[in-house]
Structure 1
Amino acid sequence: MEKYRVAFIGCGNRAKAHAAAIREDSRCEVVALSDLYAEAAQAFNEQFGFGAALFTDYEVMLAEVKPDIVISCLWTPLHLQMFRACAAAGVRAVHSEKPMAPAWGDCLEMARIAEATGSQLTFCHQRRFASGNRLVRQWVEKGRIGQLLRMDLYSPPNLLDCGTHTFDQALSFNGEFGAKWVLGAVDGTNPLNWFDVSAESMAVGTLVFENAVRANVQTGGPDQDMHTGVRLIGSKGFIEVNWDGEIGEAVIYDDPSWKPEMPASSEREQMAGVVEDIVGSLAAGREPELSYRKALRASEIIYAFYESVRRHARIELPLAGMNDNPFIQLLEAGHFAPAAGQGA
């Protein structure tokens, strides 16, 4: 059994869930930790008993330690430069917190680097491994609700940081078919800041997938009838399932007595799935479930939404002719100034 040398870049709160799962995998040895704040890396090291070397500069760490796997829990604007450095240093697998990047061009560049170098790149859409989500995927594949016709997609604000989980969940339920077109609207009059990226407080829209399944979308705002997750509507019934795989209403039209089992889900289960995906895929040379290619599909939908707002138009995919973050460009140009009489 091959042993993998693991390093962490970023030792904040989110890294703890990764550390707990990595510690349980006998194939992994955590050899280095990097954080701008030395005391954070030290506390992290002590909490998990890694006995790892500590650094405040991850590029120095990469050069001196040469890890096989890097777990990155940095804020979104730092993802591209981190991955570029890891790939240049020969890191075999890099697992990053989501979302991919704060601009579409950065997402594409991360994908290009992964393809050019062969460095395995994954993003933490960990909810793919929740028991309920796995079960719903099986039901859809077996036709339990008939032909999938439509989905209602929900998340808290905003599209980039929270919506990425819902889009990824929808893509997984719908056989990984990409989107065909997107038409969206956002409320940017009270912008948010998530991990140093400006974002809208509400978004609504419609998208159609390549297999003709239609989806309505709402992130944030009032009157959501689901806080997170997906309502799958098929020709024979429907299922509501939240981010973590908890099943709400579920109806089979010709079998009204049917009550689905309610599998429990936990962060531990999901993160164990993440680690197995990272390590098992690296060992077997297979495409990970959390591959950057899947994250890129979710990101493309998000940036198409923003481009729809900028152009006041329906956006055909694949997304072309833009590389920035249209929401941020519109925000900085004063596009979302409050209407007269609404106040600042």
Structure 2
Amino acid sequence: MKLKAVLAGTKGWADAHAKAYQASERIELVGICGHSNTERLKALADRYGIAARTLDLETLLRETNPDIVDIVSSPDARLELVKTAVRFPSVKLINIEKPMALTPSEAYEIEALCKAHGKLALVNHQHKYLPAWHKAQQLLRAGAIGEIEFIRASTKVNIMEQGSHVIDMVMYFNDFSPIAWVMGQTGPYEGKDSSSIVAPDEAMASILFANGVRATVECGAFARSLQGETNPFYHIGVDAYGTEGHLKIALNQTLEVRNYITGEHTVEKSSWDEHHFDALLAYVNSIPEYLANPEGGHICDLAHAMLSFQVIMAIYHTAEYGGKVELPRRFEDGIVERFADKAAR
């Protein structure tokens, strides 16, 4: 029997999520909830033949009794949707698009709500399921470049948008080693970034992991450019340097691995354009396994998502107060709100 899912949100990635559920043999999309745009809700529901459609999530959950609530709304609405979803006994798992929250208090409350009500939660960092990126992680784990010593990662889109993916991927490539400290800096919010999510236009950080690996992260317009890319969202790259070689991967270009000892050098295609839907479908199809064995964890589970969110908040904190921050730590909303205040002027 298929698991049942409902979608909360009708724009952005909602269409891709609906398409993935339609292609899945393990999960059925049984309802869609919009926020205020009835025409967009009708168009999406009609496109995928979904009869249960409403602007009220509580009504939809009562009518459909789903196993999964998939929240693809704008980030500022996610906490309220989680508050509604956790109250329904049928709901076993809540999937949340990244970033999981815009402020520390929202993230902490989402975490607390899910734990208090016994709900599993995932944050959609589907880049881990892109074939070349998954292969890169497997090569690093197998020692293709020896022991990792240093990772450099960058995106030309802001830290709360694509930066959240980049930081999550750095942690994934380093096998989620605990973080010793973070030291970062941010530029002002000027609204020049291509993302609609309010965040500083530039941010950078140095990260020390407990296993000795160091990483630098650059987010925003000042970050390195990948030759040949014209879409800011495609300027995503991660380079890892080890005791025996290096691995370099770009989102929509190539995966390169060179071993200095053996002389082996391979270059293969890395394609977001060709594989982003397959990655999303693989992510969706991983949900039933996680529900069957939650003790086994998931590479996008709430615990992992909170770690990468903590890194972002540590960058904001050190940009405001200086020094470096040891993790874990609780952060206050003021480190983020100053950017939102400026955006509202």
TM-score scaled by structure 1?
0.89
Q: Secondary structure of the residue that 2:143 maps to in structure 1?
A: coil
In 2, Cα distance between equivalents of 1:62 and 1:24: 22
Partner of 1:295: 305
1 CA distance for matches of 2:82 and 2:276? 25
Contact persistence 1:3–1:29 (CA under 8 A): yes
Question: Matched residue pairs, number?
Answer: 331
Is 2:264 the partner of 1:268? no
Structure 1 counterpart of 2:84: 85
SS at match of 2:113: helix
Deviation at 1:186, TM superposition (A): 1.0
Alignment match, 2:60: 61
Number of the residue aligned with 1:340: none
Show CA shifts across 1:289-339 (max 9, x none): 32111111110000000000111221111123x33151323664x7x9xxx
- Per the TM alignment, residue 242 of structure 1 is displaced from its structure 2 partner at its CA by 2.4
Decide whether the 8 Å contact of 1:277 with 1:289 is kept in 2: no
Partner-residue secondary structure (3-state), 1:140: helix
**What residue number does 2:70 align with?**
71
CA deviation vs aligned residue, 1:164-223 (integer Å, no higher than 9, x gap) = 100111111101113211111111151468886521111122111121110111111336
Task: Report matched runs for 1:1-344 at 5 Å.
Answer: 2-35=1-34, 36-50=36-50, 52-90=51-89, 91-191=91-191, 197-222=197-222, 224-226=224-226, 227-243=235-251, 246-262=253-269, 266-285=275-294, 286-320=296-330, 322-329=331-338, 332=341
**Shift in alpha-carbon separation, 1:287–1:325, aligned structure 2, 3 A:** farther
Alpha-carbon distance in structure 2 between the residues aligned to 1:59 and 1:323: 31
3-state SS of the aligned residue for 1:144? coil
Q: SS at 2:286's partner residue?
A: helix
Aligned to 2:231: none
SS at match of 2:299: coil
The superposition leaves residues 23-61 of structure 1 with CA deviations (integer Å, 9 ceiling, x where unpaired) of: 1123322221111222212111221223x2110111222
Helix, strand or coil at the partner of 2:266: coil
* Aligned counterpart, 2:229: none
4+ residue stretches of structure 1 with deviation over 6 A? 193-196
Amino acid at match of 2:338: Q
Please state how far the C-alpha of 1:273 moved relative to its aligned partner.
Answer: 1.3
Aligned equivalents of 1:195, 1:84: Cα separation in 2: 26
Aligned-residue identity in percent: 23
* 1:16/1:223 CA distance change after superposition, 3 Å: closer
For 1:324, give the aligned amino acid. D
Instruction: Write the letter of the residue equivalent to 1:235.
Output: T
Alpha-carbon shift at residue 86 of structure 1 (Å): 0.3
Letter in 2 for 1:271: L
Does the CA contact (< 8 Å) of 1:5 and 1:69 recur in 2? yes
Task: Give the letter aligned to residue 319 of structure 1.
Answer: R
One-letter identity of the residue aligned with 1:283: A
Name structure 2 gaps, 5 residues minimum.
227-234
Contact 2:182 2:314 in 1 (8 A): yes
**Distance of 2:219 and 2:197 partners within structure 1:** 17
Distance 1:179 1:17, change over 3 A: same
Query: How far off is 1:249 after superposition?
Result: 4.3
Q: Is the 8 A contact 1:303 1:325 kept in 2?
A: no
Unaligned 5+ residue runs, structure 1? 337-344
Q: What TM-score, normalized to structure 2?
A: 0.89
Q: Quick one: which amino acid aligns to residue 93 of structure 1? A: L
Query: How far apart, in 2, do the equivalents of 1:196 and 1:239 lie?
Result: 32
Letter in 2 for 1:206: S
Q: CA shift at 1:280, angstroms?
A: 2.5
How far apart are the structure 2 equivalents of 1:49 and 1:88? Answer: 27
Measured at CA, do residues 13 and 198 of structure 1 come closer, stay the same or move farther in structure 2, by a change above 3 Å? Answer: closer
Equivalent residue of 1:281, what SS?
Answer: helix
